[in-house]
Structure 1
């Protein structure tokens, strides 16, 4: 915890302790209510069925108000419990029921009674879930890529990957009643002799159902708060409960008119969006911009003081942390640490290019630092005009050692959006979504990231093996011949070009299939209502209702690809120290034996990405551009249905996919042994970067950043001792400004922890309960991670300033 930002208030500190001490449970309420709703409404149109499902959940689920809280709203029957979403997938739930509490990481607990309840409803969902229909819908050849782990998209069809932010600012200003009014007007105006309008009528009727359901949900809490107030003996708490009751009687149906009303309205809607869908990365958007008018008005009117506002924001972050999610074990390895990726963005610019930092920006930094949690995921929008004072405050948050904030560069992201057709005023209003992905809140389509992880190093091995997957021997695509017979490095580039284009095409097929079944199975009515122009068009987000719709597919092992290409070029074809056949045999043996170990040493000594060496950096740029060139040929399922865009772009947000995808990849020409983790994001491979952070920044900045609009994820690690010195904190600020101003970097984030601390935490986890690390584009408590993911973080390079 930080002495710079001060402690939490006693009650918030107590609330935090309760949350950290809570054992993550599996909650079955949503599963039971959803099953009953689906059984009773099998004949209803999808939009109506989904709306009734949400209505029934909000009517029947357990609600409570914690003794410490000033904000009402809970996701599950107890805090930190994870609901089951049976309509997405049930087979893995039943298969893993008895293993939840015995996992290597991300442990959950479930009672025998609740296990039986889930087993009782399982037959209804057999061959009747999103996952079932998704797997059945994959074209047979494309499914081979999925089954072999080359393209991993399980998250898209087992949990629904939201990756969006609605327009909370507008919602608080006009209240949900305005969305209700607009939907009713649209419904009344429909000419139902046009069959397309019949489909639209279901969507509008669904909106009317869910708005009324949200209003009733708030009333449930209002009544509970009033009942608690009647029994409360402490006068101050009694007054608080009565005020909560008043506010919940009003918002979110009516517009918010004060800071407290705005925060409660924001939280309840954000919470319900989590309950509605089984997505993650449902983000808050530019919170400082839409909350600041309420905050400044109440400050000026004397209705609130900064200390009380800070406590309320801390309360919001603690409530945000109560939300939890359980994934299948195979998917968990790609999202280690039970992350929800709920991003909140601060700073940036106004539409006229001025610094947008305000009082709320500072308050958000301070309150997030005080809470020292893994949620929310905090992002700072950097630009040339960001003041030194605010940068200093950001570095103080970095010093707290929980992996936040991440920094995104306006000067790269805004022009990239404008080039792709985003209106300038919208581009200037972008926010971070999830990890490093970016979108315009309230105007972007569902899933701004594709979540189909393509394993670049495995793709290279397949290309070298004439299109054959080397582990299974499966012929996946046509190559140009076997690497053992190559006589020039140009043939390596040619085989990469041929195979990666086919794999990119398969990625698009898999992604489109996922989107197709998501649209057919899991309409999100409330989320769509809060996104422009869904009501105007009568289409939900998955049907093409949003103003913009771009998807970034994700590439894993970029540094391994770079280092592998450089090693082959240098060692095999230039220096001729190893023949192609010798290298291939060494890879197949996992470098076993003295001869092959010598080959491995030669590969490790070749130029490495992350050291500002054009020899290797340009190789990966050229190889990456082949993939990007191919990807530009394809459209997503919303193309031509209304949104601007409807296309794909690249992204490097690999989250923790580098660990499981590395586990399924044989030895690679960079000297990496079989099963070892791949490099994460666009960061260099472990210990490959020898020349300090500036060299890393220079290598990363050479990537085709303007084309990787989905995010160029860069993790760096420094020690707490280093940032203890004021001069080093100033150096970090200068380093950040150089990276963004001169090198045009996209993103960077920092782990501030020593290797010794991490090793001790592995041995004595009880002494490091509060230890948080940056895994990839998100933070997680170190102790909940699997041993493999912990080891991966430990081995990252510690930089000096």
Structure 2
């Protein structure tokens, strides 16, 4: 049951803010002057951060207890930043497919550092290191400039807070309601103190957290909130025990904090603004790799790039360019993960964990994207709460199984204490907060399979991108064919890792971030930016099997139809793929209906799955031994882009037509998992997932009609426990009905809070493009 305050905040958001987007500040603002033009770029970036903090409007909304509003931006809409680079620097960066927006984000910072020691403590650390530099015979000029930039950027964060303090004090003087006047003065006291000084109360901890997030995000960093319940719980516990606040007051503080995460959402597609450009998320592409960003992986550091899908005004909402816009337009990679083990190995699930989960759903919020860690030590009551939430259609929280994930970190050489403290990034990948720099790359396994048939040519473009291994007719056994497929996959893995090694540190030339660098291990210690090479303890690069289900089902079809039943030849499949199955409909039906499919606990196809995953990880492992700059776990993923990725791929031997969506993440193709949810989980847990600890999420679509009442809660809890007991790592569970989705498409005004899971995020169904809505409906149409 929501308090009156939280009901009013919820009503304000849904009736006013969600249909009236905020203002985009800093467009065409240029902070480069004659006086600072010769300063190092990183120092000018610090000045840009300071400008943001000094000029973002400070205003306080009715009822709120946590204050501060970041600039408008999002994963889908792009971002606007003050210009701090010279024209010469911009031109040089563009040669590498970079610009000032080339900020990767994703990785979780150490938010708790600011809360615990304040920016004053951080400034003391920086000044100590500066003093050490000038005691040397020759100071490290790069380090000195990084420290200068950090201190300048922090000035902006402190100005942002101080101006909110002054606004609260001013408003308290004219407030007629005594209760609200007291609240405004409390806001004034908190904002006068944090984030400069350490937080000493629950309100101060939440306020320091949010002020810091606002500044980091407004600087272009799309980063997660991390283990929020673990970070703020000590302050909650101390205040409750001391009688400083009541549990009801603490709940209003939590609800106000969560509401702040949602105020930039816009569900009115007519009011969306596009500020996307080529540089967003780019980690750089050295010129020697050519200029074809769509295929060479600009933003994904060596992966398949679909970020050209920014909104295009001259195209309709179903066009390829606009296909993904509706789901990522209201996303900030703002993941919050609650529960799970503490670094000491004990369970960390608390009352704050429970309240954050409860309020996130009772307020019908989209943000933060919510995840929950569970383990063998998770209390019974939390399992039940998770089941209650997941049977109500939001697709959240995503479930992370500590017992399956933590051993993977340890196997890679990460300390058990760090491993137990893992968080997720803005989507679902598992990282160590404040100690990780992370990128990923799509390895297009479906395209590798295509290249076996086409002698390395990509059908949609005609380009020679794969290996020419000779005509497909030469393969007399399935083993020969499969080994050719592995060669094409290995080619992609090698290219992606080589590209990442080449572009390590490239974004530093144009998009350093001295502010966020202050809350990552290694940056102050070394006097280097987060964007520099191996500044932080762990630099992860994640090669992702993309389109796994399609590849496995395709290989099974070839194995059975060609080599076992001998009902078709490889040439027949080649011609079918090249002609998008036109004229080969009988063969297509065989591939779709006469061959076992992944997701049904059928050993025939699951043996193919196990082998595909083992061979993939074995080749990635060779790169662990050949270099020491990257930690290379494996993953399986499409994120929310499975539909857009599919639009750039030709037909596949499983019967899929050209441009149709891929199967999402580590999930079966829509409609083929006819044996039920448990069978899907059993299939997916047959491979050894140890080296896939960084992320292989199963996206499971469940019919809401099967989960009503107390029996439905028990059934959902049983599914969650089975998922973990069988060794599943990350699971997302969307529970809705086909009838509800169809009605939402016809009567969107009746379903404003209907959300569905889309890979690494959830999206309001009514804000999606019609083509994407249709794809979601297909997932529930079995």
Q: 1:478 to 1:40 in 2, by over 3 A?
A: farther
2:9 to 12, 26, 32: 12
The equivalent residue for 2:592 is: 604
Instruction: Please state if 1:646 is matched with 2:627.
Output: no
The equivalent residue for 1:31 is: 27
State how 1:245-256 maps to structure 2 within 5 Å.
245-256=188-199
Q: 1:708 to 1:80 in 2, by over 3 A?
A: closer
- Displacement after TM superposition at 1:86 (Å): 5.5
Instruction: Please state if 1:317 is matched with 2:258.
Output: yes
State how 1:628-707 maps to structure 2 within 5 Å.
628-634=617-623, 646-707=630-691
Maintained 8 Å contact 1:718/1:798? no
Distance 1:127 1:169 in 2: 35
The equivalent residue for 1:288 is: 229
Q: 1:54 to 1:310 in 2, by over 3 A?
A: same
Instruction: Please state if 1:431 is matched with 2:398.
Output: no
Instruction: Please state if 1:552 is matched with 2:548.
Output: no
The equivalent residue for 1:374 is: 366
- Displacement after TM superposition at 1:534 (Å): 1.6
State how 1:441-452 maps to structure 2 within 5 Å.
441-445=433-437, 448-450=438-440, 452=441
1:270 to 195, 213, 217: 213
- Displacement after TM superposition at 1:292 (Å): 1.0
Maintained 8 Å contact 1:348/1:410? yes
State how 1:110-259 maps to structure 2 within 5 Å.
128=90, 132-135=94-97, 159-191=102-134, 197-259=140-202
Q: 1:775 to 1:675 in 2, by over 3 A?
A: same
Query: 3-state SS of the aligned residue for 2:256?
Result: helix
The equivalent residue for 1:782 is: 765
Please list the CA deviations of residues 702-755 of structure 1 after superposition, one character each: whole Å capped at 9, or x if unmatched.
2342111221111112233322131232122122222212x2110111111111
Maintained 8 Å contact 2:548/2:663? yes
Maintained 8 Å contact 1:285/1:431? yes
- Displacement after TM superposition at 1:579 (Å): 1.3
Maintained 8 Å contact 1:398/1:404? yes
Query: 3-state SS of the aligned residue for 2:80?
Result: coil
The equivalent residue for 1:92 is: none
The equivalent residue for 1:395 is: 387
1:457 to 446, 450, 473: 446
Maintained 8 Å contact 2:79/2:276? no
Query: 3-state SS of the aligned residue for 1:411?
Result: helix
Instruction: Please state if 1:59 is matched with 2:47.
Output: no
Query: 3-state SS of the aligned residue for 1:475?
Result: coil
Instruction: Please state if 1:585 is matched with 2:575.
Output: yes
Instruction: Please state if 1:71 is matched with 2:66.
Output: yes
Distance 1:56 1:519 in 2: 20
The equivalent residue for 1:408 is: 400
Please list the CA deviations of residues 756-786 of structure 1 after superposition, one character each: whole Å capped at 9, or x if unmatched.
2112222222222211111112101111112
Q: 1:26 to 1:223 in 2, by over 3 A?
A: closer
Distance 1:583 1:77 in 2: 49
- Displacement after TM superposition at 1:212 (Å): 2.3
- Displacement after TM superposition at 1:19 (Å): 5.4
Maintained 8 Å contact 1:130/1:157? no
The equivalent residue for 1:113 is: none
- Displacement after TM superposition at 1:32 (Å): 3.0
Query: 3-state SS of the aligned residue for 2:31?
Result: helix
The equivalent residue for 1:362 is: 354
Q: 1:372 to 1:435 in 2, by over 3 A?
A: same
1:763 to 741, 746, 762: 746
Distance 1:60 1:229 in 2: 22
Maintained 8 Å contact 2:397/2:732? yes
Q: 1:792 to 1:648 in 2, by over 3 A?
A: same
Q: 1:368 to 1:402 in 2, by over 3 A?
A: same
Distance 1:157 1:334 in 2: 23
Please list the CA deviations of residues 451-493 of structure 1 after superposition, one character each: whole Å capped at 9, or x if unmatched.
x333221221023211111222211232322224432212221
Distance 1:550 1:79 in 2: 24
The equivalent residue for 1:731 is: 715
Distance 1:22 1:784 in 2: 11
Q: 1:50 to 1:381 in 2, by over 3 A?
A: same
Please list the CA deviations of residues 405-424 of structure 1 after superposition, one character each: whole Å capped at 9, or x if unmatched.
11101111111111112111
Q: 1:672 to 1:122 in 2, by over 3 A?
A: farther
Maintained 8 Å contact 1:551/1:647? yes
Q: 1:701 to 1:77 in 2, by over 3 A?
A: closer
Q: 1:682 to 1:623 in 2, by over 3 A?
A: same
- Displacement after TM superposition at 1:130 (Å): 8.9
Root mean square deviation of aligned Cα: 2.8
Instruction: Please state if 1:279 is matched with 2:221.
Output: yes
Maintained 8 Å contact 2:31/2:84? no
Maintained 8 Å contact 2:75/2:328? no
- Displacement after TM superposition at 1:199 (Å): 0.7
Distance 1:125 1:299 in 2: 55
Instruction: Please state if 1:337 is matched with 2:328.
Output: yes
Query: 3-state SS of the aligned residue for 2:773?
Result: helix
Query: 3-state SS of the aligned residue for 2:28?
Result: helix
Query: 3-state SS of the aligned residue for 1:265?
Result: helix
Query: How many residues are treated as equivalent by the alignment?
Result: 729
> Larger deviation: 175-184 or 474-483?
474-483
Distance 1:472 1:665 in 2: 10
Maintained 8 Å contact 1:383/1:409? yes
The equivalent residue for 1:715 is: 699
> Larger deviation: 73-82 or 13-22?
73-82
Distance 2:92 2:225 in 1: 27
User: Normalization by structure 1: what TM-score?
Assistant: 0.86
Maintained 8 Å contact 1:26/1:83? no
The equivalent residue for 1:477 is: 466
- Displacement after TM superposition at 1:42 (Å): 3.6
Maintained 8 Å contact 2:50/2:152? yes
- Displacement after TM superposition at 1:514 (Å): 4.9
Query: 3-state SS of the aligned residue for 2:752?
Result: coil
Distance 1:56 1:794 in 2: 46
State how 1:347-358 maps to structure 2 within 5 Å.
347-358=339-350
The equivalent residue for 1:152 is: none
- Displacement after TM superposition at 1:376 (Å): 0.6
State how 1:80-95 maps to structure 2 within 5 Å.
84-85=79-80
Maintained 8 Å contact 1:716/1:798? no
- Displacement after TM superposition at 1:9 (Å): 2.9
Query: 3-state SS of the aligned residue for 1:545?
Result: coil
Query: 3-state SS of the aligned residue for 1:381?
Result: strand
Please list the CA deviations of residues 282-312 of structure 1 after superposition, one character each: whole Å capped at 9, or x if unmatched.
1122112121111111112222122222222
Please list the CA deviations of residues 17-39 of structure 1 after superposition, one character each: whole Å capped at 9, or x if unmatched.
24553333661x23333x33488
Segments of 5+ residues of structure 1 without an aligned counterpart are 88-120, 137-155
Q: 1:631 to 1:23 in 2, by over 3 A?
A: farther
> Larger deviation: 250-259 or 576-585?
576-585
- Displacement after TM superposition at 1:545 (Å): 2.2
Q: 1:454 to 1:295 in 2, by over 3 A?
A: same
Maintained 8 Å contact 2:404/2:727? yes
User: Normalization by structure 2: what TM-score?
Assistant: 0.88
- Displacement after TM superposition at 1:131 (Å): 7.1
Q: 1:436 to 1:697 in 2, by over 3 A?
A: same
Distance 1:123 1:756 in 2: 53
Q: 1:188 to 1:86 in 2, by over 3 A?
A: same
Distance 1:739 1:726 in 2: 20
Query: 3-state SS of the aligned residue for 1:233?
Result: coil
Distance 1:370 1:494 in 2: 52
Query: 3-state SS of the aligned residue for 2:541?
Result: strand
Please list the CA deviations of residues 596-616 of structure 1 after superposition, one character each: whole Å capped at 9, or x if unmatched.
111001101211111112221
